[in-house]
Structure 1
Amino acid sequence: MINCVIIDDEPLAREGIASYVKEVDFLHLVGTCENPVELIKLLDQHQVDLIFLDIQMPKMSGIDFLKITKDPPMVIITTAFPSYALEGFQLNVLDYLLKPVTFDRFLKSVNKAKDYHHLLTKPSDYCFIKCGSKYEKIQFDDILYVEGMQNYVNIYTTKGKYVTLLYLKNMEENLDNKSFIRVHKSYVVSINKIEGIEGNEIFIQSYRIPISRNYREQVIQQVVSNKLWDKIKFS
């Protein structure tokens, strides 16, 4: 069950989202607020997993709330203003819904939240991801590397390729940083699956994954340096 709250200064907008929440069996409405100041108090009293957040509100805007809040719950923006979309995604919102919000669009968004919430609460050695209409079990030991696209990721494993609606940042946050390493803005690789490094490329089976200049030093330090036999001694 995902505990959610609705933050909007418009009563009709709050009622509309609340009516949608009631139609979804994995959502539980903890409360509604007229502005983020009320939300701050509510977060102290309840476990909240998901926030439906308006942007233009009195006292504090939704964007300002996100800027000052450390590690907020999942956030889905609900607004009549499309101009804040880029800034919202830069603040790691899960989705951006334009009013008036249709139920179909709402359902697509909360299913995305469900998948991400499942990933956050996964057991330590595997997770389930949604590929189309099917939930696929992914063993972390099987992952070769993950490729981030605009709003989905390609997960390459020893068993095949899986495509799911998640952000690379979300995936990276839930992978063990001792076993996986970011090598490029669009790639996270399994350290144990690396077979070689040449120039600015990593070799994993038949795949070649680019290493960006910003990550090269970290990759060499974490992957190569501690295991490098650079001197041979003869007795």
Structure 2
Amino acid sequence: MPLNLRCIAIDDEPIALDIIKAHAGKVPFLELKRTFVNAFEALTFLKTEPIDLIFLDINMPDLTGLDFAQVVGNKSLVVFTTAYPEYALQGFELSALDYLLKPIAFGRFMQAANKAYERLSGDSKKSPFVFVKDGYDWVRINLEELQYVESEGNYLTFQETGKKALTRMTITEAIELLPADQFMRVHKSYIVALDRIEKIERHQLTIGKALIPLGASYRDELLERVK
């Protein structure tokens, strides 16, 4: 299993590249080698540098991202980035790994990164973990041990069995990061692991020793999903 994925980002908008650079800097297994505003310079770079993953804007002058992907072929995994959702079908027809709609939220970016990690490690199963930043350290969160996520202002607490991690992230980013078939938002401030729920009451649910508030707008969906 690779420790690092070598990647580049290509976009004719420097601001978009800054966002990808910031997101990639939060992912411990991504090694962002270069960013390019010129697609032809990126092609020259790829002739001599092996790259695992390309974050590629679609709507670029002279050489579009779709054309670029056809030139590269299957030498690198491609994640398309664009502000135009109508390009999604064309992107997937080119066997793109994923498709990120701008502005790119970190949680959605992390999903694509995890997908690349799984593909290149030869693991077809869903990743059993995610990484979050706790202070200056990157902490591995084992999804099988994760009980719930609690929002506290601008921070989230990831509560695993016997330990927890505090990270600066929005609850919206967290729900995008976690597998939707295993986790669900049940309150404006809580996400829970569905298989960890022990008891559901009218306004709360129980996970271990924790009592988690249950929002009225989430109750019906939760009951449907745990049937």
Structure 2 distance, partners of 1:130, 1:161, is 12
Q: How does 1:62-77 map to 2 (within 5 A)?
A: 65=83, 70=88, 72-73=99-100
* 3-state SS, counterpart of residue 216 of structure 1: helix
- Which residue identity lines up with residue 124 of structure 1 in the other structure? S
RMSD of the alignment, in Å? 4.0
Give the drift of 1:174: 4.2
Q: Which residue number corresponds to residue 162 of structure 1?
A: 165
Match of 1:141 among 128, 140, 144: 144
Give the drift of 1:119: 4.4
- Which residue identity lines up with residue 38 of structure 1 in the other structure? M
Give identity over the alignment, percent: 22
Structure 1 distance, partners of 2:153, 2:86, is 26
Structure 2 distance, partners of 1:187, 1:37, is 37
Structure 1 distance, partners of 2:36, 2:199, is 53
Match of 1:6 among 1, 6, 11: 11
Structure 1 distance, partners of 2:152, 2:188, is 10
- Which residue identity lines up with residue 5 of structure 1 in the other structure? I
Structure 2 distance, partners of 1:117, 1:166, is 17
Query: Structure 1 residues 28 and 117 mapped into 2: Cα distance closer, same or farther (>3 Å)?
Result: farther
- 2:192 counterpart of 1:201: no
TM-score with structure 1 setting the length: 0.55
* 3-state SS, counterpart of residue 181 of structure 2: coil
Q: Which residue number corresponds to residue 125 of structure 1?
A: 128
Q: Which deviations, in whole Å up to 9, do the C-alpha atoms of 1:194-223 show, x marking residues without a partner? A: 121222111112222222222110111222
- Which residue identity lines up with residue 216 of structure 2 in the other structure? R
Match of 1:185 among 185, 188, 191: 188
Match of 2:68 among 29, 39, 45: 45
Give the drift of 1:128: 2.7
Structure 1 distance, partners of 2:38, 2:203, is 50
Give the drift of 1:2: 3.0
* 3-state SS, counterpart of residue 7 of structure 1: coil
Q: How does 1:89-128 map to 2 (within 5 A)?
A: 92-94=104-106, 118-120=113-115, 121=117, 124-128=127-131
Unaligned runs of 5+ residues in structure 2 are 1-5, 40-56, 70-76, 89-97, 119-125
RCO comparison, higher one (Cα < 8 Å, 6+): 2
Structure 2 distance, partners of 1:175, 1:140, is 8
Query: Structure 1 residues 72 and 117 mapped into 2: Cα distance closer, same or farther (>3 Å)?
Result: closer
Give the drift of 1:155: 0.6
Query: Structure 1 residues 171 and 151 mapped into 2: Cα distance closer, same or farther (>3 Å)?
Result: same
Structure 1 distance, partners of 2:137, 2:66, is 33
Unaligned runs of 5+ residues in structure 1 are 52-61, 76-87, 96-112, 227-235
TM-score with structure 2 setting the length: 0.57
Q: Which residue number corresponds to residue 58 of structure 1?
A: none
Assess if the C-alpha contact under 8 Å between 2:106 and 2:173 holds in 1.
Answer: no
